[in-house]
Every structure is written in structure tokens, then in C-alpha cells.
Amino acid sequence: MTARTLYDKLWDDHVVRTEDDGTALLYIDRHLVHEVTSPQAFEGLRIAGRKPWRTDSVLAVPDHNVPTTDRSAGIEDPVARLQVKTLDNNCSEFGLTEFDMSDIRQGIVHVIGPEQGATLPGMTVVCGDSHTSTHGAFGALAFGIGTSEVEHVLATQCLLQKKSKNMLVSVDGHVNEGITAKDIVLAIIGEIGTAGGTGFAIEFGGDAIRALSMEGRMTVCNMAIEAGARAGMVGVDATTIDYVNNRPYAPQGEMRDRAIENWQQLHSDSDAVFDKVVHIDAASIRPQVTWGTSPEMVVAIDAGVPDPDTVKDRVKADGMRKALAYMGLEAGMPINRIAVDKVFIGSCTNSRIEDLRAAAKVAQGRKVANNIKLAMVVPGSGLVKQQAEKEGLDKVFLEAGFEWREPGCSMCLAMNADRLEPGERCASTSNRNFEGRQGQGGRTHLVSPAMAAAAAVAGHFVDVNDLMSHN
Amino acid sequence: MQAFTRHSGIVAPLDRPNVDTDAIIPKQYLKSIKRSGFGPNAFDDWRYLDEGGPDIDDSTRRINPEFILNQQPYDRATVLLARENFGCGSSREHAVWALTDFGFRAVIAPGFADIFFNNSFKNGLLPITLDSAVVDSLFGKVQQNRGIEFTIDLESQTVTAGEDVYAFEIDEFKKYCMLNGLDDIGLTLQHADQITAYEQERKQKLPWLF
Ligand code: SF4
């Protein structure tokens, strides 16, 4: 048999049938659902008189719209309240499992799937959310879909797909002290661009990726979509299997042994051929900070804001000028002089326990700077929050002057009350720095949790290593 | 779904790369549980000078006269000419609903983000990928001939802009669904037996997934 990539294996394993032009009907093992992209899909089912094909494949949770402050009073915004209520109603009407707002297991959909073991190696995982790529960290084929496709999966357990091309991004060697998964993925996007992965499924490999924890791998795969790839993935190894073990939805006992045997095949064959291979030297990666309105507009902390006048491509240079104007920055400005107003630690990119530990390590014994109007930590799920509190991380944050919130998407996209005011600048651990993403006129700089905490205590961007060595 | 066969309409040039779905429809409108009514809020942050929301009457808001779609005749445009990586960002189909609700039937660009591209086909919005040099010259043409109409013919896979005719590629299956306005759930359910058979086999082989 010819050598296959991990993506080839996952793909082949899920094809139900193929049309003449290569369009495949792909079977879906896990369907994650949230309140924003599902109401119209359920409505579609109702209108057509259809039922979900396999209710046990669905796990639903409200996350985008939920308040991160005291929940006992419910949701204040009537429009958001109706949307969350609509999800509750649809789940009970169609018999689907939902972790509702009062459930300790509630959280960001891409945090709770893996946390529950609802995401397993070898699965196809879809969700009406582009950051579904996160789940690829488990050696799964995971990608975001639109609402029509949510309805299609609900009704048929399948999706119509054309196979993507294979790309390997190999992060070779080892990263330096203080460099996290977020810095790795931002550096990758800086290298290949936000359209660099369009039409590809990206497998992340190399020693630096293998050395990452599952949390770190999820951070990397999470942002595959920001590199233009619908799916990102990492092959299964002992780290994957250890993480999955004993999770509520994961197989147990004899079944687990059978599963592990199968999972161990889930990596690219050593002689598999990729359509494109990109090598990144891990040792060259510095802490990353985005300066513009696209994740590819990223530089190292010790660099300056790039100058559009030095860029030949007219469309690109114009884009840079628009970004500088929107961000209120000037070419050449040192990144570590940029002062911030707000700090957001959270989102499906960086709200897992390891992220909170990294941020708390920086916040420990320090205070949020005076010029910071708000520094907030939003755990990815109720269980992450519980674990962090067990470790005393909440106290570390509170003593330093951070707010400690309830789980949800929060200021990642500012659908709830957590947002930036026009002109406000934010150090954010989320994944998108688009115009208006965190509030109309708001300015977002993407960084790692440690770098966000460092910006909070310094009042401006700073190399977290410098800050820590000053102790 | 509305079928797409042949369409002629005014072309609006949106001259910036990486137009993301947050820009096409900002998040405050995603709270809707409906599929319609997003048109007045397409490109909301660029179209209006003040902030809007689902409970704000758009007719009371200040229009940004600089924004292309607020200028005549582009306010009646049905074809959008765009740059690289159009529709990047989130999976929100609301972005496509906003464009179709505004009146767009097609978007021409050198490249689209994958999810947006797929979502478009589900809603009768035809995304046409043309070489970036061609798109560049189309921008030139539109800027020199304000209000020019292009004709898009899906059957023959061509865009006609004045004297020039450009061919584009499209998947056979997507073309077929689009030409006939087919609901692909119905199509898939014709293969229900095959799905069930696959599922049974999978249950035997990988029981922990069920
Ligand atoms: S945390 Fe942000 S990126 Fe992740 S699912 Fe929520 S809104 Fe989307």
C-alpha cells in the first residue's frame, strides 16, 4: 500500500461514497453545537420535517453569548437570552445532550470537547465554528462548517467535501525558554500568511510540536484556520493517549485497549509525500506580538512596527497602511513601547489550565499596572475554573488586580458585555485581531498568556523573559 | 436555494485584501435566530459612522459617504469585485446571508477562504475565482467605467466584462447543484442506505465511537 499522510488516512476512513468529480460524502463522528450558528439549522430541520440522524453524536453548549459575570440573574440582553434559550429548547426537542449555562461542565465548545473525551483520535469532528480545527490536535480530522452544513450533518450524519491538499509544517529543533505554543503558531502564520494554508489540511510536526503538551498542540491547531487551512492536525503519540485516558466520554477497560491499538496507527507514514512542506526553525522563534488587523501582521517583541513603504506589492502595502491607521500605530515604533488599556486572557486558543498557570506564574507577586483599565481572566470551562481554583490561581490573579470570570468566549468576540471601547488597545490571548473583533474601534494585539500577563503588569508589551529575570 | 444560471449586474469594487467575516457582518447581528434581514448591516462598521445593533433602527444612523456601497450606482450592485482571501475568519454563514440580502449574486476574487466559499454555494451566491492579474485588470475596468455591468454565465463558466470574456473553473458537482438550485440534504438522503451500511460496519470495527 502506498504511504499515506495522517490526513489521507483520516479521509479514506470516513468516505461513504464519492461523486464522479471527486466530491465525497464524508461520515461525521462528532458534532459539536453552540447557540450562534445552530438556530437556523434546527429551524431548517423543522421546516423539512427531518430528524437528527444520530443524536448521540451531538454535544451542545452555549458559549458565545453567555455572561462571564454572576449567572444567577440569567442573561440581561434579551436578544442573547433568546438565542441561548433557543439552543436549550432545540436540544430538548430533538433529544440532544447539552451542557447548559448552569452546568459545571459548560464552557467554550473547543475546550469542553477534549476535556470530556468527546473528541477522540481518528474521529471526524465538526462544529459550526471555524476554530473546530483545535480538535485536530488529537489526530482527528476536525473542521468548521457553516449553518447549512450544520443542518446537513444533523440530518444525514455526513458532509459533502472535496479533499484538500496535504501540507506539513515542521517546527524543527527546540524552542527557547519562555516560548509557548502561541508564539510558535503566530510565527508560522507570519511565515506562510493568512492565505498560506488555503486549500490545504496542515499537519504540524517536528520536534518542537512533539514536545508540546496537548494544551499546546490545541493552541497550534486552533489557529490553523488563521493560516487559511480548514483543518490542522498532529499525529497521535503517548502524549495524546495519556491525555485521553479516563475522560468521561473516552472508552474504558477492554474497549480502551482496542482503541489504543487503533490510535497508534494515526500518524503519517514515514515516507508519506506532502504537496507542500514548510520548515520553521524553533530556536529562532521569539515571543510574538501582532501589530495589525490580520494575524499574519506579526513580529517579535524586540522588533519595530513594519513600514509599508518598504513593501513593493501595492495591495499589501495599502492593507498595511489601513491597518496602521486603524491600530493607531506608526511604522518603526518599537513594539515594547506600545502601551495597552485592557488585557484579556481567555478564548479557545488560550484558556486551558496550562495557559492559566503560565499567566499566573507571571502575575504572581506582581500588580497590574495603573494604566490598565481592565485585566480579565476567563477560564475555558467550568472544570478549568474549578481546577484553577483548587491550585489557588484565582487568588494569584485577584491579588494582582485581575478579574476572575465565569467561562465563555467573552471578549474574544465581544458578543456579550465584555468588549473594547473605540480606540482601546488590548493585549489578548485570542486568535483574531480583525477590525472591530473585540468591540467597534477596538485594537487587538494577539499574544501568549504569559506575554499578556506581562503586558498587564508592565502596562505595555514587554518580553516576558526580561520581566521574569528582573526578579 | 435560489438557482444561478446567468446574471448581469452592476459591479462594486471592494479594493482591500483579507476582507473577513467580522467585517462582512459584525458579531452583534449574530444573535439573530433568523436567516434573513442581514442586508442593511452588511459591512456595518464601514457603512455607518455610528455603532449599530440588532435593536437600533438603521434608518436613524449616520451613513459613511466614503464607503463604496453607499455610493450610487454601487448601492444597487449585485456583483462584488474583491481581493485575495475574501471571507476569511469565522464560519458564520450570516456573512453570506448579509451579502445575498444586500442583493449580491456573485463575488469575484483571486481567492476565497474555504468555509466562506462553501457557505456561498449553499445560498445561491456564486464565488468566482480568477487569476489575480485578471482581477487587477477588472478593478481597472470598473474604476474607468463606473457602473459597468458584468454578465456571468454559469453554464459556460464565463464572466463577460465589456468586450472581454474570462473563463473560470468550478467543481462539476457544485455547478450542478447551483444551476438547479438543489437542496443538497435531499440529495444526500438519496444515499441513506449507503450511509447506514457504512455506519453498521464502523460500529463493528470501532465500537467506542458509538
Ligand atoms: S473563544 Fe473566540 S474564537 Fe473561540 S469559539 Fe469562542 S468566539 Fe470563537
A238-272 pLDDT tens trace: 999 999 999 999 999 999 999 999 999 999 999 99
Cα separation, A40 vs B38, whole angstroms: 13
A373 close to B (CB below 8 A): no
Q: Which of A362, A326, A320, A324 is nearest to A345 (CA)?
A: A362
What pLDDT, on a 0 to 100 scale, did the predictor assign at position A450?
A: 98
- Give the cell for residue B177: 447543484
CB contact under 8 A, B22 and A437: yes
Task: Give the residue whose CA is nearest to atom 2 of ligand 1.
Answer: A412
Pairs across A and B, CB distance < 8 A: 192
What pLDDT, on a 0 to 100 scale, did the predictor assign at position B7?
A: 98
What would the mean pLDDT of A263-282 be, rounded to a whole number?
97
Cα separation, A297 vs A261, whole angstroms: 42
Residue that is written with C-alpha cell 494569584 in the block: A396
Burial A180-196 (b: 16+ CB within 10 A, else e): bbbbbbbbbbbebbbbb
- Whether A301 and A286 have beta carbons less than 8 Å apart is answered as yes
CB-side exposure of B39: number of CA atoms within 13 Å? 12
Using CA atoms, how far residue B46 sits from A27, B25, B31, B64, in Å, is: 40, 10, 20, 7
Indicate if the pLDDT at residue A29 is higher than 90: yes
- Which of helix, strand or coil describes residue A290? strand
Chain segment A100-137, per-residue pLDDT in tens: 999 999 999 999 999 999 999 999 999 999 999 999 99
Cα separation, A217 vs A233, whole angstroms: 9
Indicate if the pLDDT at residue A1 is higher than 80: no
Q: What's the whole-number average pLDDT of chain A?
A: 96
- Give the cell for residue B94: 450570516
User: Which is more confidently placed, A315 or B197?
Assistant: B197
Chain segment A99-108, per-residue pLDDT in tens: 999 999 999 9
Q: How does residue A414 score in pLDDT terms, banded at 50, 70 and 90?
A: confident
Give percent above pLDDT 70 in chain A: 100
Q: Tell me the whole-structure pTM to 2 decimals.
A: 0.94
A154 backbone dihedrals φ, ψ, rounded to 5° = -60, -45
Give percent above pLDDT 90 in chain B: 92
Indicate if the pLDDT at residue A421 is higher than 70: yes
Cα separation, A272 vs B130, whole angstroms: 32
Residues 62-91 of A with CB under 8 A from B: 64-65, 77, 79-80, 82-83, 86
Provide the 10 A C-beta neighbour count for residue B193.
Answer: 8
What would the mean pLDDT of B97-104 be, rounded to a whole number?
97
Provide the 10 A C-beta neighbour count for residue B2.
Answer: 10
Q: Which of A238, A245, A181 is nearest to A209 (CA)?
A: A181
What pLDDT, on a 0 to 100 scale, did the predictor assign at position B183?
A: 82
Indicate if the pLDDT at residue A200 is higher than 70: yes
What would the mean pLDDT of A442-465 be, rounded to a whole number?
98
CB contact under 8 A, A148 and B198: no
What would the mean pLDDT of A156-184 be, rounded to a whole number?
97
Cα separation, B86 vs A417, whole angstroms: 29
What pLDDT, on a 0 to 100 scale, did the predictor assign at position A212?
A: 98
Indicate if the pLDDT at residue B1 is higher than 70: yes
What pLDDT, on a 0 to 100 scale, did the predictor assign at position A197?
A: 94
Indicate if the pLDDT at residue A315 is higher than 90: no
CB contacts, 8 Å: B184 with chain A: 152, 160
Q: How does residue A70 score in pLDDT terms, banded at 50, 70 and 90?
A: confident
- Whether B69 and B89 have beta carbons less than 8 Å apart is answered as no
Using CA atoms, how far residue A4 sits from A21, A211, A237, A240, in Å, is: 22, 23, 17, 20
Which stretch of A138-142, A170-174, B56-60, B74-78 has the lowest confidence by average pLDDT? B56-60
Q: How does residue A471 score in pLDDT terms, banded at 50, 70 and 90?
A: low
Indicate if the pLDDT at residue A470 is higher than 80: no
- Whether A322 and B16 have beta carbons less than 8 Å apart is answered as yes
Cα separation, B25 vs A36, whole angstroms: 13
